[in-house]
Amino acid sequence: MKSFNNKIAVVTGGGTGMGRELVLQLAKEGCSVAMCDVIEENMEETFGLVSKESPDVLVTKHICDVSNEDEVIKFKNEVLAEHNTETINLLFNNAGIGGGASFVTGSREEWEKCFSICWYGVYYCSRAFIPHIVSSEEGHVINTSSVNGFWASLGGNPHTSYSAAKFAVKGFSESLIDDFRLNAPHVGVSVVMPGHIGTSIAINTGKILGGERSEEEWEMVKQNMIKLGAPVHNQSIDQIKQMIQERTDSFAETAPTSSSEAAKVILDGVKENKWRILIGDDAKALDEMVRRDPEGAYNINFEGEKREEIE
């Protein structure tokens, strides 16, 4: 797709981060947008920004939990009605949260919540919207996976639900390449694999998952940090909590790539019809490392250095 002008796009998770930036940048290029989110105040903020920047472009907002198929079908019906259309050109399956870290010690509820949003969200939205993309003249489906869609680690920290879901998103997207070539050659597909991007995902994940870790779970967090070589033996649980909170708060500030840069990379990739869109030098370096030495892939940390605890 060479231009987004006069097209219609659906963006899931438009409330903050890359979703918000996709909404803003698409509208700037004259593309009508329907966005959804579960955090209403964030979506209202995006709506305020886009209405100011692109007042002449139709942008609609919809409360929808993408992990609930009934809500996704309602969202689709609202989009078709409010945009007065039967066809959609672009679907950005962007909504996601973190979580579901350990399969062994973590909560099953959290594991399934993360998997439902990150995988079933993509699946239900694809089921709902792809028929309307196939019936358009020109379409593209963009699924956001992660570096955790090809490397199931956080440099030693387990990330089991998120990684399982992101591998599924990558596999599904790649399998659509042949499917579209054969059955809908006017539709393209891209899988997006961002590295560390400056967004509110850590804060939003906390809001969406809710709940507080028990003292026992915090003790386990501390023990895992020690196993990974962190010098926290003498830290109290309160100090550990503070450290994790500081990391959550600084997630956006310490990122090498901003969400607006990331959205630009995604949109440029779609225009070039790239099926794989890596975002950031960190993502590119990890991709190369995993391909160069697949057997050693789980012996490295996020910086690509050999992990000390397995020396």
Containing H/E element for 273? none
Query: How far apart are alpha carbons 17 and 23 in whole angstroms?
Result: 10
Active site residue 123: no
Query: How far apart are alpha carbons 151 and 53 in whole angstroms?
Result: 38
Query: How far apart are alpha carbons 75 and 78 in whole angstroms?
Result: 5
Least distance from ligand NAD to the Cβ atom of residue 237, Å: 27
Applying CB under 6 A, which residues contact ligand NAD? 12-13, 15-19, 36-39, 42, 64-67, 94-97, 117, 121, 144, 146, 194, 196-197, 199-201, 204, 208, 259
Which residue, 136 or 153, is less far from ligand NAD as judged by CB?
A: 153
Which residue, 219 or 281, is less far from ligand NAD as judged by CB?
A: 281
Least distance from ligand NAD to the Cβ atom of residue 42, Å: 5
Cα 309 → chain centroid: 30
Least distance from ligand NAD to the Cβ atom of residue 249, Å: 14
Least distance from ligand NAD to the Cβ atom of residue 282, Å: 9
Which residue, 4 or 151, is less far from ligand NAD as judged by CB?
A: 151
Which residue, 27 or 38, is less far from ligand NAD as judged by CB?
A: 38
Helix ranges (H only) for the chain are 17-28, 40-53, 69-82, 108-115, 121-134, 160-183, 201-209, 215-227, 237-250, 259-271, 281-292
User: Which residues are within 8 A (CB) of 228 and not within 5 positions of it... i.e. 6 or more apart?
Assistant: 156, 157, 307, 309
Query: How far apart are alpha carbons 231 and 228 in whole angstroms?
Result: 9
- What are the residue numbers of the active site? 162
